[in-house]
Amino acid sequence: MLDLLLQANRLKVMPRTGWMIRGIVHPESVAAHSYGVAFLSLILAQAVDEPLDRARLLTIALLHDLPESHITDIPYPALRFIAPAAKRTAELNALNEILRAFPFGAEYRELWLDFEDRRTPEGRLVHDADRLEVLLQAFVYERSTGNRQLKEFWDSTSESYFEYPASRQLFAVLRQQREEEMTR
Amino acid sequence: MLDLLLQANRLKVMPRTGWMIRGIVHPESVAAHSYGVAFLSLILAQAVDEPLDRARLLTIALLHDLPESHITDIPYPALRFIAPAAKRTAELNALNEILRAFPFGAEYRELWLDFEDRRTPEGRLVHDADRLEVLLQAFVYERSTGNRQLKEFWDSTSESYFEYPASRQLFAVLRQQREEEMTR
Amino acid sequence: MLDLLLQANRLKVMPRTGWMIRGIVHPESVAAHSYGVAFLSLILAQAVDEPLDRARLLTIALLHDLPESHITDIPYPALRFIAPAAKRTAELNALNEILRAFPFGAEYRELWLDFEDRRTPEGRLVHDADRLEVLLQAFVYERSTGNRQLKEFWDSTSESYFEYPASRQLFAVLRQQREEEMTR
Amino acid sequence: MLDLLLQANRLKVMPRTGWMIRGIVHPESVAAHSYGVAFLSLILAQAVDEPLDRARLLTIALLHDLPESHITDIPYPALRFIAPAAKRTAELNALNEILRAFPFGAEYRELWLDFEDRRTPEGRLVHDADRLEVLLQAFVYERSTGNRQLKEFWDSTSESYFEYPASRQLFAVLRQQREEEMTR
Amino acid sequence: MLDLLLQANRLKVMPRTGWMIRGIVHPESVAAHSYGVAFLSLILAQAVDEPLDRARLLTIALLHDLPESHITDIPYPALRFIAPAAKRTAELNALNEILRAFPFGAEYRELWLDFEDRRTPEGRLVHDADRLEVLLQAFVYERSTGNRQLKEFWDSTSESYFEYPASRQLFAVLRQQREEEMTR
Amino acid sequence: MLDLLLQANRLKVMPRTGWMIRGIVHPESVAAHSYGVAFLSLILAQAVDEPLDRARLLTIALLHDLPESHITDIPYPALRFIAPAAKRTAELNALNEILRAFPFGAEYRELWLDFEDRRTPEGRLVHDADRLEVLLQAFVYERSTGNRQLKEFWDSTSESYFEYPASRQLFAVLRQQREEEMTR
């Protein structure tokens, strides 16, 4: 169990590379982002009408970036050089090794795939939350650092990205507040 | 909802002061620690025989440091100068303000108090996990920075601190591995 | 004496939390701020007509944040959740412990209270300098980081805050230069 | 040409992940490492009897990590989860895109492959220098940070790794000085 | 040879002070800048019609800041307080000590002087590249940090600074892209 | 006056290079060191029998590194490459420019020279405090970072360095506590 915890602990020193390549100095760690996704999933779920399994929801959020403790956070623009199947296989291989000693390994792998493939309502909501958390952080960096290179996160996201009306509504509010502050 | 998310987002820039006052440069954030506690609670729960409500468990873990988004992380040694009631009142006041607009505010306050007062099995397990996460991080810092001032975390913790046998067992394994590596 | 010096040395690793919660990465330490306040008091005193005890003035400046070496720098907005008396008591308790072994302890406590309560011309001038140093640093951060969240420091300060005409004049010059640069 | 320079400029913000996952805080950038490899190649070449093309040598050194400006520095232990061919293909794809607009693109790709496959004396020497630079940096980190997790770099390298006698000699001197300092 | 490599290794921890005094947090190291100059020289040489000795060119680029491993990077505005001859003498003294044990010492000193005095086509091109690299980095910092104090780098550079038409052309393109982005 | 304050404010971003070249990551600023020297002078003066002018003492401490706001902190080992007179002249030139507009300029220059030349009891005490502060910080870094390269500060300092018995006593206590902790 200690090995598993030390492995997850590495997420605290993994920088989120999407910020890094755009010049954000000492950006948040993957662990801090994972916290953000889990918290955002928790709150967002309160605004969803559909019944949700909160235990499943939060477990998915806590697991969704675990393979990055081995693979690191390969930034999105790099993925056009790597076959998507190669990345998915690498992450599954890493997850298999991390969890191979545990009886709950199979369950966790299934939860990770739920997020990746948006299989269930919970996987879909964490997928929405993952994107909303990026935009929230982009807004926070834009107003605290003067970085001009985060605009593309906004340009590349539209309401249709999100599965839940609650996500779309939060996205709209966030985008509006960002526009108001940035043009002031 | 956006205000609540921006408030929790502040935990990403709050340093854990216990490391800071002992000379750890750029220590983990409160958000990264909260991720660690939530993940550790999840894994630790797998080793607990007692039935546990995993949704409650993880929600407590995600909420337990939320008041620090206002109050900051006042380090443990400072508490001998502040009346314990004063700190608890301040944190409750902060939590009340953070949650005042939400129907789920009362539920979350109750979960926070569960952690503080170790009221239920879930609150008690997160309490164990919170301490184990500190020790895990102390070990990681000791082997990666050569800091000699973290010894007191080990000296001030004994097995009797923990409520669950699974916690005591993890503590014993962690302490042993730390001793082996540090005396090598 | 070594214990006292090690205690003050901690101010070098304490971040100023007012900057931190507004997203300034790796903000100045409390020690650096204390240097700024002492230097600003020294220079400001040159522009004050009233006779001043320079030794008293600089000693107050060097001592005014010493309790934060135990308590840390609790940010201003957090104070609405903590009874003012509780904070003052905590800081006095910390100061008492720091100075308890020294014959000059009573004198230093009196100097600290002078700053807190603006009792003498010297305490009042350091109080002015403390605020001016914050505004000077806000200006420096605004022009070097593009942070948009420091505006409230300017909005919440008017000339009437300051006791000395020299302080008011420096504030006016600083505010004007900031406005010129920020609207360019 | 500006796009190419901005792309290479990204290496300044890419951390070397091998240090990062072992807990080195704010490790060197890939650009700083590339400087080290180029400088070490230059000096090492002075001790090689074989005739070498210095222009080719230094160009290989400056190019050898260029694909990481897109792909990031995937740490060595992660490569057991990724098919080697997949990584090589990704890096070649990235290099092709970076260089596609330039008449010298084909030459540079050939130089990059020379390093990867150790095809010519120059490619082999940079390959030696790349490893020696890692060990030099490991030694510098060990004596300046107290990190205990870099030992595996030494354990996993033997003289047979290196192609040139000059490299083996430098490795022996470096290993000896490291052992002397670390056991003192 | 190890001493020489450890000396050059120091450039990795030397900050470029020109950025530092203008408030760029954790600016690039001298080593990262040297990489940038070497890479830029390599690419720029491709656009120069005149025949160039690429080995000489890249060696100059890798050596040009080596004395700073002893002297540190004294920022340009400080030079009005130091006699130019004093700085040059200090850097030559440092270089002499660094290289005194090596048969190639005399050759390297001559290459360093070539850069300083722009004696040959290669020295002149690295001199151009050194300035272009500063402007490239200024642009990167301006768009990623919101710093308003880098304008003077642009104001103090005109096309006549550069010796080669290729340098002037790159400067023009860079300046134009910067103006477009900054006024957007 | 604002220009003078902005100039002194630069000391907050100037790293102390003596730590930097020995591999301390993100070392203290010159401003934080100046705070340490002023505070240490204040406390040390309490243990000196000789009558001292405390205002003069603290003013010297606050001014002694002011020229570094222009020149930066050139590390001690670099001084063997620079004629001592050249460094002193550069610092005096910088100080003259900083203070040229002020009626108190001449007084401050005299205080700076007092420190440099140890002319009066106050200048001598700050000179002692400056060294003691370095050793105190060396001890703090040694126990918090595991850096093995600070030993030379201890090896190069003997009791005869200090002018005052109180300084010698503090040095002895500090050295002893350091030895006890480092050999544990």
> Mind spelling out the 3-state secondary structure of chain E?
CHHHHHHHHHHHCCECHHHHCCCCCCCCEHHHHHHHHHHHHHHHHCCCCCCCCHHHHHHHHHHCCCCHHHHCCCCHHHHHHCCHHHHHHHHHHHHHHHHCCCCCHHHHHHHHHHHHHCCCHHHHHHHHHHHHHHHHHHHHHHHHHCCCCCHHHHHCCCHHHCCCHHHHHHHHHHHHHHHHHHHC
Q: Where are the alpha helices (DSSP H) in B21-119?
A: 30-45, 54-63, 68-71, 84-99, 105-117
Contacts of B180 in chain D (CB under 8 A): none
pLDDT for E83: 84
Entry pTM: 0.97
Contact C145/E22, CB-based, under 8 Å? no
Contacts across the C-F interface (CB distance below 8 Å): 115
Distance CA F176, CA A77 (A): 56
* Per-residue pLDDT at D184: 75
Residue B98 identity? I
Question: What is the Cβ-side half-sphere exposure of residue D66, based on CA atoms within 13 angstroms?
Answer: 30
Q: How far is it, in rounded angstroms, from Cα C168 to Cα C158?
A: 9
**Residue D104: predicted pLDDT:** 97
How far, in whole angstroms, is CA A62 from its chain's centroid? 10
Q: Which of D20, D71, D81 sits opposite A13 (nearest CB)?
A: D20
Structure tokens that stand for C177 in this block: 């230069």
Predicted pLDDT at C169: 98
Interhelix angle for A30-45 vs B2-9, to 10°?
A: 160
Of residues A62, A174, A177, nearest to B42 (C-beta): A62
Q: Give the CA dihedral B143, B146, B152, B157, nearest 10 degrees.
A: 0
Percent of chain C with pLDDT over 90: 96
Give the closest residue to D40 by CA, choosing from E34, E43, F18: E34
The minimal CB distance from D136 to the residues E5, E39, E43 is found for E5
The tokens for F17 are 């290079």
Rounded Cα distance, B138 and B135, in Å: 5
Confidence of residue B85 (pLDDT cuts 50, 70, 90): confident
Concatenate the DSSP letters of all residues of D125-160 into one string: HHHHHHHHHHHHHHHHHHHHH--SS-HHHHHT--GG
Helix residue ranges per DSSP H, chain D: 2-9, 17-20, 30-45, 54-63, 68-71, 84-99, 105-117, 121-145, 151-155, 165-183
Per-residue pLDDT of chain D in tens (184 residues, 90 and over written 9): 999 999 999 999 999 999 999 999 999 999 999 999 999 999 999 999 999 999 999 999 999 999 999 999 999 999 999 988 889 999 999 999 999 999 999 999 999 999 999 999 999 999 999 999 999 999 999 999 999 999 999 999 999 999 999 999 999 999 999 999 988 7
Residue C152 has pLDDT above 80, yes or no: yes
**H/E run at residue F115:** helix F105-117
Reported as a pLDDT band with limits 50, 70 and 90, residue B58 is very high
pLDDT of residue E8: 98
Is residue A80 within 8 Å of residue D89, measured between CB atoms?
A: no
Are chains E and A in contact at 3+ CB pairs closer than 8 Å? yes
At F84 the pLDDT is 82
Q: Say yes or no: C17 contacts chain F, CB-CB below 8 A.
A: no
Candidates D145, D150, D180, D184: best to mutate against F (most CBs of F within 10 A) is D145
The chains found to touch C (3+ Cβ pairs under 8 angstroms) are: A, B, E, F
Q: Comparing C-alpha atoms, which of D61, D83, C48 is closest to residue F1? A: C48
Question: Average pLDDT over chain E, rounded to whole?
Answer: 96
Instruction: Please state, in angstroms and rounded to a whole number, the distance separating the CA atoms of residues E154 and E136.
Output: 11
pLDDT value, residue F45: 98
Residue D80 contacts F, CB cutoff 8 Å: no
Is E12 in contact with D26 (Cβ distance < 8 A)? no
Write out pLDDT tens, residues A130-152.
999 999 999 999 999 999 999 99
Cα B164 to Cα B129: distance, rounded to the nearest angstrom: 10
Instruction: Note the pLDDT of residue D114.
Output: 98
Round to whole Å and give the CA distance between E1 and D171. 11
Q: In C30-177, where do the E strands start and end?
A: none
C-beta atoms of D23 and B147 within 8 A: no
Per-residue pLDDT at A184? 75
Average pLDDT estimate for A45-49: 96
Q: CA-to-CA distance for E69 and F81, rounded, in angstroms?
A: 12
CA–CA gap between residue C101 and residue C88 (Å, rounded)? 21
pLDDT tens, residue by residue, C9-48: 999 999 999 999 999 999 999 999 999 999 999 999 999 9
Among the residue ranges A65-74, C150-159, E84-93, E124-133, the one predicted with the least confidence is E84-93
Higher pLDDT pick, E83 / E42:
E42
**F155-183 b/e (C-beta count within 10 Å ≥ 16 → b):** eebeeeebebebbbebbeebbeebeeeee
Residue where the block lists tokens 């490899």:
D37
What's the rounded Cα separation, in Å, for the pair B36 and B40? 6
Q: Which residues of B touch F147 (CB under 8 A)?
A: 146
Best B19, B24, B25 residue to mutate vs chain F (most F CBs within 10 Å)? B25
DSSP code, position C13:
T
Instruction: Return d(Cα E119, Cα E110) in angstroms, integer.
Output: 10
C85 has a pLDDT exceeding 90 = no
d(CA E148, CA E182) in angstroms, rounded, equals 11
- How far B146 CA lies from chain D's nearest CA (Å)? 4
Q: How confident is the model at residue E52 (pLDDT cuts 50, 70, 90)?
A: very high
Low-confidence residues of chain F, pLDDT below 70? none
pLDDT at D84: 82
Contacts of C147 in chain A (CB under 8 A): 143-146
Cβ-based neighbour number of residue E137 at 10 Å: 23
Q: Is the pLDDT of residue A128 over 90?
A: yes
Contact A81 D97 (CB under 8 A): yes
Closest residue, chain D, to A85 (C-alpha): D86
Distance CA C1, CA E70 (A): 36
pLDDT of B183 reads 83
Which among E25, E26, E181 is the top mutation candidate for probing chain C, defined by the most C β-carbons within 10 Å of its own β-carbon? E25
Residues counted in chain B: 184
Q: Quick one: pLDDT at residue E20?
A: 97
User: In angstroms, what CA-CA distances link F51 with C59, F9, F113, F132?
Assistant: 17, 32, 21, 21
Q: Give every CB contact of residue C7 below 8 A, 6+ residues apart in sequence.
A: C66, C69, C70, C98
> Percent of chain E beyond pLDDT 90?
96
Over the stretch B113-162, which tens digit does the pLDDT of each residue have?
A: 999 999 999 999 999 999 999 999 999 999 999 999 999 999 999 999 99
Mutation target for A interface from E144, E148, E183: give the one with most A CBs within 10 A: E144
Nearest CB neighbour to A23, from listed E140, E181, E184: E140
